[in-house]
Chain A
């Protein structure tokens, strides 16, 4: 387990330590949660465009981390390696849509979901062949000297995670509320027929959504790799956690994906810290099942994917 997930060292029992500990868990939780949020956004974008739950979303996360690791290994600076890895993942996303989803157009949503599950298994197997089954470390972007914050510490890489996530959320908000193509995507998700009738190429919208989701997933994978390590199967857990976050926030809701991700990350780290780390992974599934059972449209979902 990565060190950031464990409770900060042995401490006294003073109130100060209690609050410092809380702060530590909170910062760690938000960092993990931001990653879940990015993955959840990927789920929501594809869901909105097609009502498909893309279970290969986690593999985009893996591709981002692994390709960056390989490229950086050849001596390429991050400034080049990271954009190339994001582009590589986006191309895989576009190829997935073009060669696996598009040919099955007209098939039921369940069929499409099974196709994405198949694609995820295929991509994972391919990654195992291209790379190996080992864990790989990625150097932090800007050193690993912890920064003190309100009695707790935060890694520079966590600041990268939070900062980049914030920038992406702002950029997506701008894209969907200010650009004609962004609005066309919203229109397509709300009413596909009407979108076709105004001349929106809805197949293009779906194609683009896969590329965008893959890029978001890859960015998540690259940001988190220096903290948690990466491997050919890192996408399984991150994909499922991102899915749980999307369900919690309401599948299809952009704000829901972000809040759901952050909430899940914090809940996970808090329960690991205060209860037992044995519960860390279980908490996501408990939350997901509880939401599906008691509140199927999540915190912000309106059913039918009204807003990205």
Chain B
């Protein structure tokens, strides 16, 4: 098992945001996490990356307990997050953003990664000397994805990669997610666009106010009455 989460809890001050989450992600799987605004999806991903204090439970990665590991150790192990809202380094150039994605990798790995990302997103190569802050929203999302890939993820955590994008760009981002999956990257995907996320996922979890309330294959959940009503707008 690549990722195992047991009874994970987290608080903002006294207010609980995660109330005992149990889930797992197998190697090579694409697992989606859907849930309404404020359900705790971002909090869960932040906890997995080590940038959010955990108040209960355990996280194991490839068998090793990483519940208290610092963020950079997790990146070194291969847990890489593309955060909600892109969070690019605005004043730095596109290429510097990508280069920093490979901060913990060797020069050779960084050079290879750069080629791979530029092949995947040619527009980034075109704009590589421009400040990241000058890119359009869609391009910034590509940059955020590219920066994540530069870290050579074993487990890629994607938080709302299609948020706020035009339909054509959403399609492009999901095409990229499928390509990564085909490339055997393990992916844990959070997306507002539940239909697209469930359609592309092997398995999925539904999160409600800090608890996992449903789990199943992507296809099963797409057919689930509750899910249809709450998340697919049917």
Chain B window 82-100, contacts with chain A (Cβ cutoff 8 Å), 1 for yes, 0 for no: 0100011111100010011
Contact of B72 with A201 in the complex, beta carbons under 8 Å: yes
A139 on interface, CB distance cutoff 8 Å: no
Chain A window 178-211, contacts with chain B (Cβ cutoff 8 Å), 1 for yes, 0 for no: 0010011011001101111111110000000000
Total cross-chain contacts (CB, 8 A): 67
CA distance A194 to B49 in the complex (A): 11
A102 on interface, CB distance cutoff 8 Å: no
Chain B residue numbers with a CB within 8 Å of A195 are: 89, 100
Chain B residue numbers with a CB within 8 Å of A17 are: none
Contact of A197 with B103 in the complex, beta carbons under 8 Å: no
CA distance A222 to B214 in the complex (A): 67
Contact of A197 with B51 in the complex, beta carbons under 8 Å: yes
Knowing A183-B96, A196-B51, A198-B103, the reply to whether A191 touches B72 (Cβ < 8 A) is no
Contact of A184 among B51, B75, B90, B100 (CB under 8 A): B100
Contact of B92 among A186, A193, A196 (CB under 8 A): A186
Contact of B99 with A197 in the complex, beta carbons under 8 Å: no
Contact of B71 among A183, A190, A199, A307 (CB under 8 A): A199
Knowing A199-B72, A199-B151, A200-B100, the reply to whether A186 touches B49 (Cβ < 8 A) is no
CA distance A190 to B72 in the complex (A): 18
Contact of B51 with A186 in the complex, beta carbons under 8 Å: no
Q: Which of B57-110 contact A (CB under 8 A)?
A: 70-72, 75-76, 80-81, 83, 87-92, 96, 99-101, 103-104
Which of the four size classes fits the interface of chain B?
20 to 34
Knowing A180-B99, A193-B51, A193-B83, the reply to whether A199 touches B104 (Cβ < 8 A) is yes
Contact of B90 with A197 in the complex, beta carbons under 8 Å: no
The interface on chain A, measured as residues whose beta carbon lies within 8 A of the other chain's beta carbons, has a size of 18
Which chain B residue shows the least CB distance to A188?
B89
Contact of A197 with B75 in the complex, beta carbons under 8 Å: yes
Chain B residue numbers with a CB within 8 Å of A190 are: 89-92
Contact of B100 with A191 in the complex, beta carbons under 8 Å: no
Q: List 30 A-B contacts (CB under 8 A).
A: A180-B99, A186-B91, A187-B92, A190-B91, A191-B87, A191-B88, A191-B89, A191-B90, A193-B51, A193-B83, A194-B87, A194-B89, A195-B89, A196-B49, A197-B49, A197-B71, A197-B75, A197-B80, A197-B87, A198-B100, A198-B103, A198-B147, A199-B71, A199-B75, A199-B76, A199-B103, A199-B151, A200-B72, A201-B72, A306-B91
Q: Closest Cβ of chain B: how far from A249's Cβ, in Å?
A: 17
CA distance A198 to B100 in the complex (A): 7
CA distance A183 to B80 in the complex (A): 20
Instruction: With a 10 A CB-CB cut-off, give which of A183, A191, A196 has the most chain B CB atoms.
Output: A196
Q: Which of A154-200 contact B (CB under 8 A)?
A: 180, 183-184, 186-187, 190-191, 193-200
Which chain B residue shows the least CB distance to A197?
B81
Contact of B88 with A194 in the complex, beta carbons under 8 Å: yes
